[in-house]
Homo-oligomer: A and B are copies of this chain.
C-alpha cells in the first residue's frame, strides 16, 4: 500500500535546445557574486563556458571560478570549494556539468556557513544543515544522476576509501536546472551508456522493494521502458535528439523522489558500486552495472513476484504457462542482454578491482535494509567475488 509520506520538489526545470537563455530569467533573483563550478574543462571546448560567462556578465554578476571538479568529487575538493565560497562571499553557486558538479555544488552549499568539517558532519554523522544554505542552480551536460532535481550529494574520501551519499532535504534541491539534450551529445559513448545505466539502476533501486504494486511501481516501469527504448536508439546514433531528450527527461524523474513515494527503496547496488568506486575510481554507472547482475540474481528468490512482474511489464515477456521463477530468470536474462547491447562493464575486474581488494570493498560497503533481503557481510563478499 501507499503509506504516509510527503512530497515537495520546487526545482524549476528549463528543458530543450534553447533552454540556456532562461538563465536570464533566473540569475536576477540571486546576489551579485556567483561561484561558477565546472569540471575538467570540456565546457571550454564545446563553447558552453563562453555562453554561460556571457549571460553571467550580461546580468552584472561577479564570477568566481571553481573548476576541476572530478567525476567522483573528493572531500579535499569540497573543502577547497567551501574556502573559495567563503573568501569571496558568494551569493550563488552555478554548477555547469554532470551530476558530479551538481552533487559537489550542493555539498558546498550546505557547508559554506557551517563551522563543522563537512565530511564529518554530513557524510559520517549524517546531520542535516543547520546553517544558511547558499542557493544552487545547474546547467546539466550529462544525463544520469538526477542530481539536477534532488537533494543528493555523493562525496569520496580517498584516504578513508569511502564514497558516501547524503540526500539532503527540499531546501538543498537546486533552485533551477537547465536541461539541454544537445549538451549531452558531446560525451564519449562510454560515458553516455554509464549514465544510462545509472538512470536505469536508480529506478531498479526503488522498484525492487515492497510487493505492493502501487502507483510508484507503474511509474517506475514506464520510465524503465522509455529508457530501454531510447537507449537502443542512442547507442546506435548518439546524435538522435529525440532519444537523447527522452533519456535526459527520464533521468530527472528517475531520482527526484517521485517514484520512491510509498516504497521502502533498496540502494544496495549503489552501496556495492560506491565501495567499488572508492577502490578503483571507476565511472559510477559502470560500477553499478558491474555488480548488478550478481546482486539481483542473489536476491531474486526473496522478491520473486516482483522479478516476475519486471519480466512481463518491463521486458514484455509472455507469462503463459511459466512459473514466477522461470519468468524472473528470463527478466534478468533480458536485462543482461540489454546491458551487453549497450556495452556496459559486466564485471569489476574490467574496472580495476582485484581479488585482494574484496575484503576492503566488503568493509567499505554500507549495508542497508530496504530491499528484499538484508545482506550479511559475508553475502556482500560473495556477491563481490561473483562480480570479479
- Mark A residues whose CB is within 8 Å of B: 1-19, 22, 181, 212-215, 218-219, 221-223, 225-226, 229, 241-242, 245-246, 249-250, 253, 258, 261-262
Contact = CB atoms under 8 A, between A and B. Distances in A.
Nearest to A7: B13
A250 B219 CA distance: 10
A218 B225 contact: yes
B9 A9 contact: yes
Contacts of A5: 15-16
Nearest to A4: B16
A23 B1 CA distance: 24
B222 A2 contact: no
16 contacts: A1-B242, A2-B181, A4-B18, A4-B19, A5-B16, A7-B13, A8-B10, A8-B13, A15-B261, A213-B229, A214-B245, A215-B249, A215-B253, A219-B222, A221-B222, A249-B262
A225 B312 CA distance: 14
Nearest to A16: B4
Nearest to A6: B14
Contact of A246 (B8, B12, B22, B215): B215
Nearest to A175: B8
Nearest to A176: B8
Contact of A10 (B4, B10, B241): B10
Contact of A15 (B2, B213, B219): B2
Q: Residue among A7, A10, A13 with the most chain B CB within 10 A?
A: A7
Contact of A11 (B3, B8, B215, B226): B8
Q: Residue among A5, A15, A218, A229 with the most chain B CB within 10 A?
A: A218
Contacts of A241: 1
Contacts of A212: 242
B15 A7 contact: yes
B7 A245 contact: no
Q: Which 3 A-B pairs have the closest CB atoms?
A: A4-B16, A10-B10, A218-B222
Contacts of A2: 15-16, 181, 242, 245-246, 249
A4 B214 CA distance: 31
Contact of A13 (B6, B16, B229): B6
B4 A15 contact: yes
Given A2-B246, A2-B249, A215-B250, 17 more contacts: A2-B15, A2-B16, A2-B242, A2-B245, A4-B17, A5-B15, A213-B229, A214-B226, A214-B249, A215-B222, A215-B223, A218-B226, A219-B219, A219-B222, A222-B222, A249-B262, A253-B258
